[in-house]
Amino acid sequence: MFELSQDHEDFRMVVRDFAEKEVAPHIAKWDAASYFPTDLVPKMGDLGLFGLVVPEEYGGAGDAGDFTSLCVAIEELGRVDQSIGITLSAGVGLGINPILTYGTEEQKQRFLPDLVAGRALAGFGLTEPEAGSDAGATRTKAVRDGDEWVVSGAKAFITNSGTDITSVVTVTARTGTNADGSAQISAVMIPSDTPGFVVEPAYHKLGWHVSDTHGLTFEGARVPADHLLGEEGQGFKQFLKTLDDGRIAISALALGCAQACLELATDYAKTRIAFGRPIGVNQGVSFQLADLAVMVESARLLTYKAAWLKDELHAGRRSVKEVKQAAAIAKLQSTEAAVTATRIATQVFGGNGFMEEYPVARFYRDAKILEIGEGTSEVQRMLIARGLGLPA
């Protein structure tokens, strides 16, 4: 039987306690006001959540942490609120991870300690107004001018990019042309206080109201040449690797959403009385909840299998191909399960499910983006088909 270690389950309860004490009492108010709770981030840092995959020399957990632990934390935060879950997921997967994986020692020493401690947040600028799933259509340019890169262009839907503690955003940009005529894509780190780094007004979103999300514009933003992250021309490969890890994290976030919906709807079905008896007596309700339990369990197994494979890859015992396929499968199943879970839960709640005072309404709004971000469901199906050896 597959199960998490006792250490992982003990850690789960620590994060659950944190989420229920520090997030749950405030989240309805934060959501209604579209308020990003900056003060919560250092508390998450104090708990060690941003350092679970980071070596000790940069303030992380070192051998005491792993990618599975990160997924546990994301799931538990997402079980209470999806916006707080994505703040951690993006903060580590899109903010810390590229620097940790591709950064020079100087870059790591400069940025990672504050990011791990929760004193700062970092973002990753990939998506553009005209380049979403077709990331190769990137139009942002970085032109070398002496010992500087001059970055011009725009990015869209960037998480953790406009907070008071955002320190840096890594962006993909055209830095030349390859021999086959395709754009050479590189990754450049742009500190948030760089002249020409413009944070656009926050989006008015369907869900994730508490998550910080902005468009960014770069108006001739100049950064030193040593702000190139990784090798010149390798940005495309780097972000594909980054997205593989991110898909597992999003799967964990979706799992938290589905788990919350199962718990909320089951409790409601036991206590809501109609025609003199609990509505859970009716098969029309109980069968839906039974189906939901199956979806949650399958999502859980796929998520933590993928997380385990990621940890095994880090230890040199698994292949990148295995992790890539498992990540796409987990992301596809878990996110679609989460969207279905919110629909079922809202239906069980009836008219109350349409009222913002009930958490299922917030989960309903928050779930849809799970099928879009970090690669749409259609992209996941394409990747899975490729993994099967099909000419997708």
Active site residues: 374
Quick one: tokens of 313?
């890859």
Greatest Cα-to-Cα distance within the chain, rounded to the nearest angstrom: 79
- In angstroms, rounded to a whole number, what is the distance separating the alpha carbons of residues 343 and 348? 9
CA distance readout (Å), 49 to 11, 38, 64, 221: 10, 15, 12, 32
What 3-state DSSP class applies to 145?
strand
Residue 280 has φ and ψ, to the nearest 5°, of: -65, -15
Quick one: angle between helices 359-367 and 82-90, nearest 10?
A: 40
Residue-wise burial string across 35-69, b where 16 or more C-beta atoms lie within 10 A, e elsewhere: ebbeebbeebbebbbbbbbbbeebbbbeeebbbbb
Long-range contacts of 266-275 (CB under 8 A, 24+ apart): 268/348, 268/349, 268/352, 269/348
Number of alpha carbons in the 13 Å side-chain half-sphere of residue 336: 14
Secondary structure (DSSP) of 124-142? EE--BTTBSS-GGG---EE
Output the CA torsion sign for 101, 106, 109, 112: negative
- In angstroms, rounded to a whole number, what is the distance separating the alpha carbons of residues 71 and 273? 37
Mark residue 261 as left, alpha or beta (left: phi above 0; alpha: psi -120 to 50; beta: remaining): alpha
> Which amino acid appears at position 41 of this protein?
V
